[in-house]
Structure formats: structure tokens, C-alpha cells
Amino acid sequence: MNCSSLTNITVPSSVTELGLSCFQGCSSLTNITIPSSVTKLEDGCFLGCSSLSSITIPSSVTELGVGCFSGCSSLSSITIPSSVTELGAECFSGCSSLTSITIPSSVTELNNMFMLFDGCSSLTNITIPSLVTELGDMSFKGCSSLTNIVIPSSVTSLGSECFKGCSSLTSIVIPSSVMFFSVTERGSEIFDGCLKLKKVIFKGKIPFYAESCDLPKTCNIFVPEEFLQEYKNAFKGYPNIYPSRE
């Protein structure tokens, strides 16, 4: 921990877990070899390893802990093996060089994705598995390069500030399974700062607290015709609400 001059390390095969904050603050670490004996990367394992640009996670690993790679600002690519079933909150927050990531379908526990990719400003593409039921608070906040995201039909709620600051996002589809937008005292702010968002398609009935999500006023909102008036009543001041043709 905080070995700021450490550049390289090989973990011996006798190790089964990389413990709590074990390499936290190792800001010069560029390379690490993790043996196949390791099954878990604990909370904060590589927190602040700002020189780590890539890492291979062996297929023996089943869990990535809370904040595991948080602040790894040079990490540009990572492959999550299909053995992983759990990703901790804030796992990749602040990974500002990460451009693309696929969450395997084996992941069944995401700790509601709280701040999972917060500040991943280079992230342009992500695949979310169909077992995810909630996109948590601030899960994609500050992902300013994200242009497209597919929300699976398993998702039932969007957390506050979920896409806040996603300034490159141009369109998004909200599946009919989404019934709830989380709110704070300031509202949900889900799309606050999404300056290029031009098209939003709601596939079902209006979610609870949808009116507080801070869509741009110029956004074109497409909704099921049977709920058109309900959406117009909720989104007062939004002139471009239309029955969906898709």
C-alpha cells in the first residue's frame, strides 16, 4: 500500500486473494502478474494505481471488490472473465482512459452499479448484461464520451444522476420495464448535462419521478400513444413530445 515507486510485481501462486487496499496508491505500478490461484480482488485492491494501463484477470477470479480499480486513470482496456459473478460499487470509477468494456453475462451482482463507471470520460461503448435490474446512482456520471448505451429490459429503475454529464449521448431508449427514477432533494438529475441528447424513446408507461430527470428542453420525446397525455402533463414546458412510431 502506497509504495509509490513500485513499477512491477509478480504475485506468487500460493496467494488466493489480493486483500483490502493491497496495492492502493502504488502510482508507478505499470505491470502486475496475477496467478490463477487468486479467486478474489478485494475492495480498493488497485485504488489509485494511476500508471496501470492494462491488466489480465485470470479466469479463477469470481469477484472484483468495491473500488477495485478506482482511480486507475491510465487503464485503457480490461477483460472481465466469465468466471466473475460480482462487481463492487465504484469498481471502475475514475478510469478516465477506459474506452470500452463488456460486463459478462455471468455477473449477477453489481451492487446496483453505484458509481460503477463514474468519471470514465473516455468510455464510448459498454455492454450491460440482461440480468441487471438497476442502474444505480451516478453509475455513468461524467462519461462524457459515451455516445450510445442499451438498457436491457431487465432494468426496473434508474438511479439519480445516472447519466449526468454524458455530454456526447445523442439518443437513448428507456424500456417499458423501467418504472422508477430515483430522486434526491434536487430531483433525479438523470440526464443533467446531456447537452447533445436529441431523442429519447420511452417504451412504456411514464416512470415515477420521470419529470425530474432534467432532459434538455429541445429533446424529442417519443412515447406510446396511449400514454401521450400523461407524458405531456408530466413534462410541462417540453414542446416536442410525440406518439412513438417505433
pLDDT digits 0-9 by tens, 191-222:
999 999 999 999 999 999 999 999 999 999 99
Q: Cα separation of 54 and 72, whole Å?
A: 10
- Region 11-40: mean pLDDT is 93
| Grid cell locating 195 | 447537452
Please report the pLDDT score of residue 131 as a whole number.
83
Q: Tell me, what DSSP letter sits at residue 228? A: H
Please report the pLDDT score of residue 31 as a whole number.
87
Supply the mean pLDDT for the chain. 92
Q: Largest alpha-carbon pair distance within the chain?
A: 64
Q: For residue 111, what pLDDT band results from cuts at 50, 70 and 90?
A: low
> Is residue 104's pLDDT more than 80?
yes
Q: Cα separation of 147 and 124, whole Å?
A: 6
Residue linked to cell 455530454: 167
Question: Smallest Cα–Cα separation from 212: which of 240, 183, 174, 239?
Answer: 183
The SS3 of residue 212 is helix
State pLDDT tens for residues 80-96. Answer: 999 999 899 999 999 99
Q: Cα separation of 29 and 232, whole Å?
A: 54
For the whole model, what pTM was predicted?
Answer: 0.90
Burial label, 171 (beta-carbon count in 10 A; 0-12, 13-18, 19+): middle
122 and 144 in contact (C-beta within 8 Å)? Answer: no
> Is residue 230's pLDDT more than 70?
yes
> Is residue 108's pLDDT more than 80?
no
- Region 144-162: mean pLDDT is 93
- Region 55-78: mean pLDDT is 94
Q: For residue 246, what pLDDT band results from cuts at 50, 70 and 90?
A: low
